[in-house]
Amino acid sequence: MEILWKVEDLFKEYEIKSEFERKKITVLKNINLEIYKGETFGLVGESGSGKTTFGKILIRLIDPDNGRIFFKDLEITKMPESQLRKYRKKFQIIFQDPYKSLNPRICCGYTVMEGIDGNKKEKIEKAIEILNDVGIKKERFYDYPHQFSGGERQRIAIARALSTNPEFIVCDEPTSNLDVSIQGQILNLFIDLKEKFNLTYLFITHNLKIIKFIADRVAIMYKGEIVEMNKTEEIFKNPSHPYTFKLLKNEI
Ligand SMILES: Nc1ncnc2c1ncn2[C@@H]1O[C@H](COP(=O)(O)OP(=O)(O)OP(=O)(O)O)[C@@H](O)[C@H]1O
Ligand SMILES: [Mg+2]
């Protein structure tokens, strides 16, 4: 299997400053893992365990303090922004809250057009096509975020991510803020789009049911460490770490 991402000894700490003290908290403790091309790699862990930080560091939205990041054999850990720009379009991230992630003053069609190359006519045509792929009809091209439901807004955020023709998407709890009845539709959309566009996902969630449904392999993160990593089936059949046991028990 082709390795798309490899991280070695990824380490990150934050300094917390208060009126009285300064202290450092370690958020990622020497993470080592690989993500294969074409898979959905699930990342599970409790709140504050470092999942979002990991996702952002991987695609260089924030810098690690230590460790190395490889995208297809190419080390990008310290690649200067000017060089990284070439790759930026290949990596996308979709956040939890579709209410915050869209600009309220830009209509949905224009939001998607921003990531597309070409002249205006080409951009409009392509944006219509991508919106259609995520289930937003072209009659809604000039509608603004407030005119859409939460699920529809998340579809627009997904269309915007697709607009740059990415190879890899960090999906950071993309259905957690949605109505339960809508979550399944959006998860199915992710699955369909992965096929259609040959995508690889890092899928972050608290929800083990979602992981079971969508992930090929899973890493369990606990206080900044990967305590267990395996094929999804195996994790559910033979959890080996006490924290994973606890997670599974709470869920059932
Ligand atoms: N910019 C920052 N400055 C200081 N501390 C931060 C910063 N960003 C995150 N942290 C801290 O790092 C830790 C990990 O945060 P992170 O957002 O990665 O966790 P998470 O696993 O995504 O949590 P959640 O499930 O709640 O989204 C937390 O203790 C958080 O408070
Ligand atoms: Mg998070």
Q: Which domains does the chain have, with CATH numbers?
A: 1-90+195-252 (3.40.50.300)
pLDDT band at 13 (very low <50, low <70, confident <90, very high): very high
The rounded Å distance from CA 147 to ligand 1 centre is: 31
CA-proximal residue: ligand 1, atom 29 (nearest) = 48
pLDDT tens profile 110-150: 999 999 999 999 999 999 999 999 999 999 999 999 999 99
C-beta 48 within 6 A of ligand 1: yes
Would you state the pLDDT for residue 195? 97
Ligand nearest to the CA of 54: 1
How far is 141 from 212, CA to CA, in rounded Å?
A: 35
Q: How far apart are the CA of 121 and the centre of ligand 1, in A? A: 42
pLDDT at position 251 over 60? no
Residue nearest to atom 16 of ligand 1 (CA): 50
pLDDT at residue 36 above 90?
Answer: yes
Distance from residue 27's CA to the centre of ligand 1 (Å) = 7
Q: What is the pTM of this model?
A: 0.95
Question: What distance in Å separates the CA atoms of residue 145 and residue 76, rounded to the nearest whole number?
Answer: 35
User: Does residue 168 contact residue 5 with C-beta atoms inside 8 Å?
Assistant: yes
The average confidence (pLDDT) of the chain is 94
Atom of ligand 1 nearest to the CA of 62: 1
CA distance 53 to 73: 22
CA of 111 to the centre of ligand 2 (A): 24
- What local confidence, expressed as pLDDT, does residue 100 receive? 85
Q: What span, in angstroms and rounded, lies between the C-alpha atoms of 129 and 63?
A: 35
Q: Is 52 in the pocket of ligand 1 (CB under 6 A)?
A: yes
Q: Whose CA is nearest to atom 7 of ligand 1?
A: 14
d(CA 136, CA 161): 14
State yes or no: pLDDT of 236 exceeds 60: yes
62 touches 229 (CB < 8 A) = no
CA 235, CA 43: separation in Å to the nearest integer? Answer: 12
C-alpha distances in Å from residue 185, one per residue of 68, 134, 165, 180, 211? 36, 11, 22, 10, 15
Instruction: Dump pLDDT digits (tens) for 148-193.
Output: 999 999 999 999 999 999 999 999 999 999 999 899 999 999 999 9
Q: How confident is the model at residue 252 (pLDDT cuts 50, 70, 90)?
A: very low
Residue 12 CA: which ligand is closest?
Answer: 1
For ligand 1, atom 24, name the residue with the nearest CA. 47
Is the C-beta atom of 49 inside 6 A of ligand 1? yes
